[in-house]
Amino acid sequence: MKLHPEIPRVGKGDVVISHVGYSFVYNEEHEQACWVAYELTKEETTKAFERTNRFKPDPAVSTLTANDADYAGSGYDKGHMAPVADMEWSSTAMAESFYYSNMSPQVPGFNRGIWKKLEERVRTWAIENNSLLIVTGPVLRKGLKTIGVNQVSVPELYYKVILDNHEPSIKGIAFLIPNASQSAGLQSFVVSIDSVESVTGIDFFPNFPNEATIEKTSNIEQWNWTSSRTTNTLASAKASVSIQCHGVTKSGTRCSNKTTNVNGYCHLHESQSESQ
């Protein structure tokens, strides 16, 4: 079990559930995690196991989670909170990232656009800073739209909070992004960690030294924003494997074409790969 002790403060009645690669607190009212926390190291960004794509209920959640039927025909993607690519260092961690406890309903253009860009940028930062502490989740509130028999809430906002806890340049940054296709760049959605705490009511790094100083500013200038991307060591090995295109159609749904392109996009949507 690879867990880091620095997780959000646990509220009364909350139960922390831990898998091989991440920990979370499940919100039964909204049928999804209110936060998912893990540490991503530089070494873990280079290891790779074949992606399973086997979504399944989480047996560790006693109250039961959402399931395939809740998302079927909903028009929403099963959006990972702990990304698959962050869990490919272990076959078990990767498989567990497909539990429905790690999913939240995301607009396709959001999930495959700005959210994917953010996940890739965070992996780059993990390489540059050796490791990062990451907390991700939806902003949950009463009155949200729901999908499926289990009434899975559809969040209007998602957050990602990141902490580099290495001397001498300890720093933090956070993002708060609407669940919709976005044309603006990642920097447009940078906020202070305090801002996310205010919106969610979650205390993210309660035991970390200098917490107040780190969380009150965005520290945007301390992070690398160049266009370099992380290297997917599995890409060349998958070149002959046919997968469903990652592209988004004009109607906002996922393309149904199959492709063997290592970038995951068919010939109709390769231009979308260039913008990721």
* Mean pLDDT of successive 10-residue stretches along the chain, which has 276 residues: 67 90 96 97 84 93 96 98 95 96 98 97 96 97 97 98 89 97 96 96 87 82 76 40 70 74 69 54
Instruction: Answer yes or no: do 217 and 246 share one domain.
Output: no
Asked if residue 258 is part of any domain, the answer here is: yes
Asked if residue 3 is part of any domain, the answer here is: no
Task: Identify whether the C-beta of residue 126 lies closer than 8 Å to the C-beta of residue 88.
Answer: no
Instruction: Answer yes or no: do 141 and 80 share one domain.
Output: yes
Asked if residue 230 is part of any domain, the answer here is: no
CA distance 26 to 7: 14
Instruction: Answer yes or no: do 259 and 219 share one domain.
Output: no
Peptide bond into 168 cis (omega under 30): yes
Half-sphere exposure of 3 (CA within 13 A, CB side): 15
Domain of 240, in residue numbers: 235-276
Asked if residue 10 is part of any domain, the answer here is: no
> In degrees to the nearest 10, what's the CA dihedral of 77, 81, 82, 88?
10
Entry field: residues in the chain: 276
Note the pLDDT of residue 87: 95
Instruction: Answer yes or no: do 67 and 200 share one domain.
Output: yes
Specify the CATH number for the domain of residue 130: 3.40.570.10
Q: Which residues pair with 173 in a beta bridge?
A: 162
Instruction: Answer yes or no: do 50 and 156 share one domain.
Output: yes
Instruction: Answer yes or no: do 193 and 242 share one domain.
Output: no
Q: Is 269 a catalytic residue?
A: no
End-to-end CA distance of the chain: 32
Note the pLDDT of residue 150: 97
Q: Is 33 left (phi over 0), alpha (psi -120 to 50) or beta?
A: beta
CA distance 162 to 132: 7
Note the pLDDT of residue 188: 96
Instruction: Answer yes or no: do 241 and 195 share one domain.
Output: no
Asked if residue 228 is part of any domain, the answer here is: no
Note the pLDDT of residue 216: 84
Q: Which residue among the candidates 4, 19, 30, 80 is catalytic per the annotation?
A: 80
Please give the tally of structural domains in the chain: 2
Task: Identify whether the C-beta of residue 265 lies closer than 8 Å to the C-beta of residue 247.
Answer: yes
Task: Identify whether the C-beta of residue 247 lies closer than 8 Å to the C-beta of residue 226.
Answer: no
Instruction: Answer yes or no: do 93 and 154 share one domain.
Output: yes
Task: Identify whether the C-beta of residue 119 lies closer than 8 Å to the C-beta of residue 83.
Answer: yes
Instruction: Answer yes or no: do 122 and 251 share one domain.
Output: no
Note the pLDDT of residue 219: 78
CA distance 204 to 10: 10
Asked if residue 87 is part of any domain, the answer here is: yes
Instruction: Answer yes or no: do 109 and 211 share one domain.
Output: yes
Instruction: Answer yes or no: do 178 and 53 share one domain.
Output: yes
